[in-house]
Structure 1
Amino acid sequence: MFLVLANLFWAGNYIFGKSIVDVMTPLQMTFSRWTIAVCLLFPIAQLIEKPDWRSVFKAWRLILILSVFGVIGYNFLLYEALRFTTSMNAALVNAMNPALIVLLSALVLRERISGKHGVGLLISLLGVLLVLTKGQLSQIIHIDYNEGDLLMLLAILVWSIYSILGRRMAGIPPIAGTAVTALFGLILLLPFAISFGGFNFPLTKETITGVLYMGIFPSVGSFIFWNASIRQIGASRAGIYLNLITVFTAIMSVIMGQTITWIQVLGGGLVFAGVYLTSRMKKPARSDTAAEKLEEQVTH
Structure 2
Amino acid sequence: MNQRLTPSTALLLALPPLLWAGNAVVGRLVHELIPPMTLNFLRWVLAFLILLPLAHRVLRRSSRVWPDWKHFALLGLLGVGCYNALQYLALQTSTPLNVTLVASSIPVWMLGVGALCFGQKISRQQMAGALLSVAGVLVVLSRGQWALLVQVRLVPGDVYVLLATLAWAFYSWLLAKPGASPELRSDWAAFLMAQIVFGLGWSGLFAGVEWAVTDAHISWGWPLVAALLYIAIGPAVLAYRCWGMGVQRVGPAIAGFFSNLTPLFAALLSAAFLGEVPHLYHALAFLLIVSGIVVSSRR
Contact 2:73 2:195 in 1 (8 A): yes
Secondary structure, counterpart of 2:63 in structure 1: helix
Matches within 5 A, 1:235-246: 235=250, 239=255, 242-246=259-263
Which residue of structure 2 aligns with residue 291 of structure 1? none
Contact 2:176 2:247 in 1 (8 A): no
TM-score, normalising length from structure 1? 0.79
Q: 2:115 aligns with which of 106, 123, 148?
A: 106
| Stretch moving more, 94-103 or 179-188 | 94-103
The answer to whether the Cα contact below 8 Å between 1:133 and 1:145 also exists between their aligned partners in 2 is no
**1:100-249 mapped onto 2 (5 Å cutoff):** 100-138=109-147, 140-141=149-150, 144-168=153-177, 169=180, 171=182, 172-173=184-185, 174-197=188-211, 200-225=217-242, 234-235=249-250, 239=255, 242-249=259-266
Task: Report SS of the residue matched to 1:54.
Answer: coil
Tell me: CA distance 1:136–1:145, structure 2 relative to 1, closer, same or farther (3 Å). farther
Matched with 2:286 is 268
Conservation of the 8 A alpha-carbon contact between 2:28 and 2:96: yes
Counterpart secondary structure, 2:26: helix
Cα deviation for residue 62 of structure 1 reads 1.4
Specify whether residues 230 and 136 from structure 1 end up closer, same or farther in structure 2 by C-alpha distance, changes over 3 A only. closer
Offset at residue 245 of structure 1 (A): 3.1
**Aligned residue in 2 for 1:293:** none
1:82 aligns with 2:110: no
Q: Distance in 2 between matches of 1:112 and 1:89?
A: 31
**Cα distance in 1, alignment partners of residues 245 and 60 from structure 2:** 17
What is residue 34 of structure 1 aligned with on the other side?
44
Residues 1:28 and 1:119: Cα distance change in structure 2 (over 3 Å):
same
Q: How far has the Cα of 1:263 moved from its partner?
A: 2.4
8 Å CA contact 2:102, 2:162 repeated in 1: yes
Name the CA distance, whole Å, in 2 between partners of 1:10 and 1:118.
25
**Matched letter for residue 55 of structure 1:** R
2:114·2:173 contact (CA, 8 Å) conserved in 1?
yes
RMSD: 3.1
CA distance 1:151–1:133, shift in 2 (3 Å): farther
Sort the Cα spacing of 1:260 and 1:109 in 2 relative to 1 into closer, same or farther, 3 A.
Answer: same
The answer to whether the 8 Å contact 1:82/1:148 transfers is: yes
Task: Assess, with a 3 A threshold, how the Cα gap between structure 1 residues 7 and 192 changes in structure 2: closer, same or farther.
Answer: closer
Kindly tell me: are residues 193 and 242 of structure 1, through their superposed partners in 2, closer, same or farther at Cα, counting changes over 3 Å? closer
TM-aligned CA distance change 1:241 to 1:50, over 3 Å: farther
- Distance in 2 (CA, whole Å) between partners of 1:206 and 1:75 is 20
Change (3 A) 1:129 1:220: same
Once the two structures are TM-superposed, the CA of residue 90 in structure 1 deviates from its matched residue by 2.0
The separation in 1 between residues aligned to 2:127 and 2:269, in whole angstroms, is: 32
| Alignment partner, residue 289 of structure 1 | none
Aligned twin of 1:16: 26
> CA offset at residue 129 of structure 1?
2.2
* Distance of 1:123 and 1:50 partners within structure 2: 44
Q: Which digits, 9 at most, give the CA deviation of each residue in 1:157-181, with x for residues without a partner?
A: 1100111222344623233222121
Letter in 2 for 1:84: T
Which one is further off, 19-28 or 37-46? 37-46
**SS at structure 1 position matched to 2:292:** helix
SS for the counterpart of 1:219 is helix
TM-score by length of 2: 0.79
1:249-296 CA deviation, whole Å, 9 max, x = no partner? 22211212211122222223222222332233x3xxxxxxxxxxxxxx
Aligned to 2:78, which of 59, 62, 69? 69
Contact 1:7 1:242 in 2 (8 A): yes
Q: Deviations over 1:100-154 (max 9, x none)?
A: 3123212222322222222222222222122234345455555622332232122
Q: Structure 2 vs 1, CA of residues 243 and 53 (structure 1 numbering), >3 Å: closer, same or farther?
A: farther
CA distance in 2, matches of 1:209, 1:123: 37
Letter in 1 for 2:135: L
Once the two structures are TM-superposed, the CA of residue 36 in structure 1 deviates from its matched residue by: 0.4
CA distance in 1, matches of 2:247, 2:75: 22
The count of residues paired between Structure 1 and Structure 2 equals 277
Distance 1:53 1:210 in 2: 36
Single out whichever of 90-99 and 153-162 deviates more from structure 2. Answer: 90-99
**Could you tell me how far apart the structure 1 residues matched to 2:122 and 2:218 are?**
47
Structure 1 residues without counterparts, runs of 5 or longer: 283-300
